[in-house]
Amino acid sequence: MSAPPSCIHPVSVADLAEARAQGVPDRGSQQVLEAERAYVDAWRTRRGLPPTEQLSPSALCISGGGIRSASFAAGVLQALAAADLLKTFDYLSTVSGGGYIASSLTWLLHDSGRTSVGTASAAACGTACGLGPDDFPYGTENPSARDDAPDRHRDGAAQFRRLSYLKTHGAYLTPGNGIGLASLVAVLLRGAFLSLLAAIPLTATAFAGVILLSTTLTQHPTEGFAFIWKLGLGVMGFLIVSALLYAVGSVLDRPLAETKSKYAFRRRYDTYAGSLLTVAAALGAISFIPNVHVHVGTGALAGGLAAAGLVFVHASRKMSRRFLRTLAQTGSLLILYAVLVLSFHLATWSVDILNTPSGILRWVPVGLLLVSLLCGRLVNINIISMHRYYRDRLMETFLPDDASELDDATGASPRANTARLSSILSASSPTGPYHILNTNLNLVGARSRVRRIRGGDSFILTPLYCGSNETGWRRTDEFLRNGLTLATAMAVSGAAVEPDAGVAGRGPARDPSVAALMTLLNLTLGFWIPHPLKEQRRLAFPNHFNPGFRSFLASAYDGRRTYLELGDGGHFENLGLYEMIRRRVRLVVVSDAGADPEYRFNDLLNAMQRVQADFGTKILFTTGGAPVNLHALFDVDGAHHPSCGHVIGTIAYPDRSTGAIVLVKASMINDVDDALLTYKHDHPAFPHESTMQQWFDETDIDAYRRLGYEITRRMIDAVGVNNF
């Protein structure tokens, strides 16, 4: 395989030594693995299979990729169930969009997902849901089969109804029935407004303090800002003088007479010079604010919003990433500066009001400050951000109530809304593979350089334990005071929009200015949690002051903090492979529907690099002893039409034991039916349409489902049922 692409961060030997010294990759996870093994053995006993001591576990992984991945994986699951292979897996490891459909399956297999009162719900549920060809919740009928095929009409009414509901509700963010695009925009504006309501009055109060102090001392309201300018000049002057002294020292120094103290001095200079330059630039920008007219500030705000809009519109197109990154940085800086300008003019207005002899208006600035303090301290940012809206819409689509399925209309899902993750699976009554929902623990401010480069650590949400190497693990029935639901875990695993985070640790949100703007406007799907091993107080919750505005600083994203932010598992590893390699599986089947139109296999390369670095495990794709060029295998003559959509590799563990990996890749294979050919003609990017497209209709979902089914069916024929 070719060298890793530029999106994969290289990690040096020194970095790995540092990471291992700090506990990577396996700090205290043995208890977690033993608890999981007890469940897996119980699940195996039910299936008549030997325990894990005799036969290592197998796993099914479903990648991230939003509704695209969920739709493709629906077909993968159907094909595996049709061959009666789905029940052979011990683990179900999902990331982001893969967690949508997998959580739906886990929910339907769980008793409370099928049990309601009344004949209507019984009609909706039909027979008990299972993993076999006859009781799989979404049916197993081959969508490409002829009308006279023996399994063409095998699915029951309840299975057909569930699948129909899934296909007609792919536009889950704006599902209708009273919730549409206006609702989405309103929630975005609500989060931004409440965040600005907490931030702007406080900033204005600080500016007002500078103005009042200046007026008291010098009778010139802007003298304080002139002092800030002078302070910035002083910092620059210090840098200039230090540079001159450094130059003089270089003349007097004997080049070969190196000492420990000289090296220490140079290192201190290199460390502080950049910080001082940043401080000087910030002071200069702040000191200039009184000279910026409010209309100019409004114009800067409009320009910044326009730049942000261009980035959003063109992010999925083939434009220069450097250009888009520059545009995002420029837009963010313009908006941030506009907010400071508007805060200053609010401060001048407040000072004028306070200087009036009398009148009720004098209390307005005080009231604004009081509202700011109350909003900053008493508002739960997990509730008012986009996270809760996203979570509710996913729940209503993938964990629907029986009445919604019967009416084929989005409605409330009261049972799923309160179903605790800790109660979904039990070793006393196992119902399916052990489900691990993978998330990313944001660690851009961690001490470990490896963590900072990667942007985080793998943080799992499971029915038994939640946690990571960085933080340790806690029992799920104790984590968040047993308040974590399956719906919330599904949404957290798919929280793709988050400050200081990006796929495989890279992306525009990692830029400090972009991250600061996202924090200021509360533009995040991320979810703040208390540290798993610290006391979880009943009345404590994440607010705008802590950890909200504190996260303007990267140091807030540290595994030792009281509050930690979880986001999309794809920001760490998008295939769900990492945790399965930790568990030393003998066989793993991966449904890979990440956006990869050029078949560069970035997600696979990232996973391969991280499991080798952390676990000493290699994943190899070879033929005749030579590495397989996966890009050439799938991108046949540049036509993007491979003969098959899967590839088989070897997992080489450090103790010389081996396992097998079967990668099922979303790809436009040859010899598909007319329905897929027609869809491909109308959608040239299929099956790698942008992940930003989260509004699928019935035709979209069915096309990806049909493709996932057909590729998996051919994979099963090639591998052989007895090899699973």
> What 3-state DSSP class applies to 203?
helix
Three-class DSSP category at 251: helix
Task: Give the pLDDT confidence score for residue 394 in this predicted structure.
Answer: 96
- What spatial distance separates the first Cα and last Cα of the chain, rounded to whole Å? 26
Please state the φ and ψ torsions of residue 579, each to the nearest 5 degrees: -70, -25
Cα–Cα distance between 430 and 424 in angstroms, integer? 10
Q: Which of 589, 481, 497 is nearest to 539 (CA)?
A: 481
The count of other CB atoms within 10 Å of the CB of residue 196 is 19
d(Cα 466, Cα 323) in Å, to the nearest integer?
39
> Distance between CA 498 and CA 526 in Å, rounded?
6
Q: Are 500 and 442 in contact (CB under 8 A)?
A: yes
pLDDT in tens, 451-503: 889 999 999 999 999 999 999 999 999 999 999 999 999 999 999 999 888 88
What pLDDT was estimated at residue 246? 80
Beta strands in 448-543 (DSSP E): 456-461, 465-468, 472-475, 527-530
Give the separation between CA 375 and CA 166, rounded to whole angstroms: 39
Q: Is 721 left (phi over 0), alpha (psi -120 to 50) or beta?
A: alpha
Instruction: Kindly tell me the burial class for residue 254, based on how many C-beta atoms sit within 10 Å of its own C-beta (0-12, 13-18, 19 or more).
Output: exposed
- ω into 547 cis (within 30 of 0): yes
Query: In whole angstroms, what is the distance from residue 374 CA to residue 198 CA?
Result: 8
Q: Which residues of the chain have pLDDT under 70?
A: 1-28, 111-127, 146-153, 252-258, 309, 311-320, 358, 636-640
Q: Do the beta carbons of residue 72 and residue 705 sit within 8 Å?
A: yes
Buried (b) or exposed (e) across 116-131, using 16+ Cβ within 10 A? eeeeebeebbbeebbb
What pLDDT is recorded for position 254? 63
Phi, psi torsion values for 437, nearest 5 degrees = -100, 115
pLDDT of residue 475: 93
Residues contacting 626, CB < 8 A, separation 6+: none
Look at residue 285 and give its three-state secondary structure. Answer: helix
Q: For 374-415, what is each residue's pLDDT tens digit?
A: 999 999 999 999 999 999 999 999 999 888 888 888 888 899
Tokens of 708: 């996932």
Looking from the CA of 327 toward its CB, the CA atoms found within 13 Å total 17
